[in-house]
Chain A
Amino acid sequence: MSRDNILHKVRTALGRSAGQAVADVPPVRLRVPEAAMEDRIALMMARVEALAGKAARVPTMDAAREFVAAAIAGKTAVASNAPYLEECGVAGLPGVRTGIREVGELTAVCAQVDIGITSADYALSDTGTLVMIAGPAESRLVSLLPPAHIAVVPRERILTGLDELFTILPNPAAQTSSMVLITGPSRTADIEQILVRGVHGPGQVTVVIVG
């Protein structure tokens, strides 16, 4: 359609010719601080709670399973296909739907259940953020449609922050069509600046750190 026209206008305005080389991109210094694991865990938990999320730390995968079992008691839940959830035994908890690989079914289940359970690819401790990468392990809707979200995360995946994330993962697009950074429960302040949680995404977010 208007592609050539627009590109031509851009080049003319900039005084550039087609295919002309560009100078180097200005450097972006990514600084990865030294941070002991204990500090990262403590900070992650503090940040999550400051966002009105819940943070819990459990010593073992078994303990994680028990924690989740208690959290979902009496409720319906769907778990993603993350191998870590399998290993913890969370995926196998009674009443938890899992192993869904068809989008229609996944959508319908996620739209009906009370809780979505996932792991996370990474966590960013300086902001209390979960990094969810879509793939065979994690889908988009499990952490999005149900009104509550529980993420079970092994402590090794906790990074210091965005700088570290983009240092170890400079090219997320090569891996996935969707990387979502989740920082706290869904919220809005669109009516009189009054904070309301759980608008479209989950209003309750629980991060369970294992280890």
Chain B
Amino acid sequence: MGKQVSLFVTCMVDQLFPKVGMAMADVLERLGYGIDFPENQTCCGQPAYNSGYRAEARTVARHFLKTFEASQTIVVPSGSCTAMVTHHFKELFQKEPETLALVHAMEKKVYEFATFLTDVAGVEDVGARMEDVVTFHDGCHALRELGIQSAPRRLLAHVKGLELREMVPAEECCGFGGTFAVKFAELSGAMARTKIEAIVGTGAHTVVSLDPSCLMQIQGALSRAGLNVRTMHLAEVLASR
């Protein structure tokens, strides 16, 4: 494969949480990877797809395919955006065999960040250090579509000074769900509050996740509730020294 990766940071990280992208790049560079950032990248198209606008989603998906066609390996700091490419792009192009072939090729090249580290780079200890008590939130796309559960935990287990406490109940949706968060705001808020009850129950100071959208929902709810708990993306934890 050669040690070169392309970053797909996602529109949310690009515009709202740029430090997550920088942290991810930092970790990868320390592991000896050369990094490029294809400048034409924008979005995976998920908002349109989830809202039922498939033609518009196709347009954005084609742009993604074009932007990354020369990349061999693409790393993404988001479970939902990775799943959009690897699981849902094909639904959009069932009637376009040529594009579908490109999609199948792309599916093999795109990796969620934690999975890339454990499965491709083959590392669990990236030399990180962070004195803190954290809990981990499994984003639904990462958990159920990508089957990611142990990889982030193995990575966190090697962060010096870090204590990980599991939420009870675990594996419950934070309530973001894309446009669901604003279309059904009251319901989304109620789901977020149930999630933060579970978080508070762990006594953790920091919530870690693979998904910026979940982190935005959770942090937004924590902040509204006046709670002194912060959120961090896994990449930011792993970049800590």
- Indicate if A touches B (C-beta under 8 A): no
